[in-house]
Amino acid sequence: MNDYYETLLAISKQVADDYTQDERVVAVMLVGSVSQGRGDKCSDIDIMMYYDTLPTAEEFAALQEAAKASGGGVYGFDPKEGLGMYRFIEGTKVDIGHHPVSLMEEMIEKFTTDPQLDDTTSHIVMSGIQGGQPMYGEELLRQWQEKISQVPASFSRALVEKYMYFAPLAILTEMGVDRNDYAFVYETILECEKRILNLLCGLNNMIPPGKIKSIDHALAKMTITPPNIIERLHKVWLADPAAAVQELYQIELELLDLVDQHYPDLDTENARARLHLQLRQ
């Protein structure tokens, strides 16, 4: 923690206090990096307001006008689902969601009974709640967090099954590095790194964050990873392209070994064959 974090937290508390003057607000959750004790001069604030009854159309219009007057704006608005907006408070960007409790409980119920692998929006929302910090209505929010933690084991397994397939080494070396096609190399590395994150979430029974931003912090929470995974993924981006590809390849092999270890009934033979696919005979 640092002075930036303390300032961000103080602003967050003031925002929560201001909005909870409205009796329709039954819960407030701080999400994002500030909720996890992190913050710097580039950080913004993410806060979710949950209502038993949403504001009226006129009240929503006033919220949007106030956001714009501060230099902020509107992400999206639906009279039934709520408002996503951002304001500037003391020079800090504050993202604020206004949503009905009923909508969130419906999303949580759907996610915990039938989670979808490709629903990244749901992943972002659920992982945000799971790691969020209640600021008001703690009992309700802790109930949500407890329910989200009960994601079926089949979801983790499905993540592993889907994301254990990586781009063939030859694609990166022969079609990328050997041709000096570095844009293609790094585009492919990025896609592989997204798959690595999702695969590791499956191995660690975690909800994917839905985006690769702040991957180091997600990886730091995991117990099942290749050794020194954070430093090695840094190396992938900082090394020369040929060395980066070889480091990535080694990480992928170790990940498949972890799949064998933790899901011995899953056959990784096809995933290994894809990794070693030859482009010519």
CATH code of the domain containing 82: 3.30.460.10
Same domain, yes or no, for 130 and 246? no
At 194, which helix (H) or strand (E)?
Answer: helix 182-203
- Buried/exposed code over 138-172 (b: 16+ C-beta within 10 A; e: otherwise): eebbeebbebbeebeeebbbebbbebbbbbbbbbb
β-pairing, 73-78 vs 133-136, is unpaired
Residue 90 lies in a domain: yes
Same domain, yes or no, for 96 and 128? yes
Residue 44 lies in a domain: yes
Same domain, yes or no, for 85 and 158? no
Check residue 269 and give its pLDDT. 97
Whether 166 and 195 have beta carbons less than 8 Å apart is answered as yes
Residue 63 structure tokens: 């919220």
Distance (Å, whole) CA 48 – CA 132? 10
Check residue 1 and give its pLDDT. 56
Residue 215 lies in a domain: yes
Distance (Å, whole) CA 1 – CA 7? 11
Residue 171 structure tokens: 């694609």
- Buried/exposed code over 82-107 (b: 16+ C-beta within 10 A; e: otherwise): bbbbbbebeebbbbbbbbbbebbeeb
Same domain, yes or no, for 78 and 92? yes
Residue 281 lies in a domain: no
Residue 57 lies in a domain: yes
Across the chain, which has 281 residues, the per-10-residue mean pLDDT values are 83 95 97 83 92 96 97 96 96 96 95 90 92 96 94 92 97 96 97 97 93 89 97 96 97 98 97 93 74
Same domain, yes or no, for 10 and 143? yes
Same domain, yes or no, for 138 and 186? no
Check residue 139 and give its pLDDT. 97
Which runs of E-coded beta strand occur in the chain? 25-31, 45-51, 73-78, 82-89, 92-100, 133-136
- Choosing from 116, 148, 180, the residue where a domain stops is 148
Same domain, yes or no, for 106 and 161? no
Same domain, yes or no, for 39 and 176? no
Residue 280 lies in a domain: no
Residue 79 lies in a domain: yes
Same domain, yes or no, for 182 and 140? no
Which domain range does residue 116 map to?
3-148
Residue 106 lies in a domain: yes
Check residue 33 and give its pLDDT. 85
Same domain, yes or no, for 55 and 180? no
Distance (Å, whole) CA 41 – CA 5? 9
- Choosing from 148, 164, 190, the residue where a domain stops is 148
Dmax (CA) of the chain:
71
Matching residue, tokens 């590095």 = 177
Same domain, yes or no, for 101 and 130? yes
Give the total number of structural domains in the chain. 2
Same domain, yes or no, for 171 and 225? yes
Name the residue among 101, 78, 110, 96 with its Cα closest to residue 18: 96
- Choosing from 132, 148, 164, the residue where a domain stops is 148
